[in-house]
Amino acid sequence: MTHETLTQLGREARGFASPDEAVLERVPNPQADVIYLARFTAPEFTSLCPVTGQPDFAHLVIDYAPDAWLIESKSLKLYLGSFRNHGAFHEDCTLAIGRRIVEVAQPRWLRIGGYWYPRGGIPIDVFWQSGPPPEGLWLPDQGVAPYRGRG
């Protein structure tokens, strides 16, 4: 996908009603010969509890080592926003996001941390990675403290 074929970057783009409808886009990585880490942080991620319909909130940290492609950040923002009215458990949301990014960008490696605010009095933190990190990749801490009235 080239900049000319992107459907959202540089254009008016409205949100999507669901993650299944959302378009996650990629762009060529001009530094594909280098092993490095890129991080997306979404401190105000929201979805809905699939049982009660009540809102759930999370702080997401997405780390990936790009290969030939980068995730286009505007499309990621719209994709994450599509969960706002989507009912799913914390584990499902976190893994669905990580797996979708892997499907689209085909990175060397990805990890996602879903730091969810309490539901029923306990926070549920969900972690997933696509496999072992590439040798020589610097992995900084995700920087989210254990729950203590997170903020």
- Which residues are annotated as catalytic? 49, 56
Can you read off the two tokens belonging to residue 120? 């029923």
**Through-space distance between the first and last CA atoms of the chain, rounded to whole angstroms:** 37
Structure-token match 């801490």, residue found? 141
Alpha carbon separation from 38 to 80, 109, 120, 137, 144 (Å, rounded): 17, 10, 33, 11, 17
- Bridge partners (DSSP) of residue 126 are 114
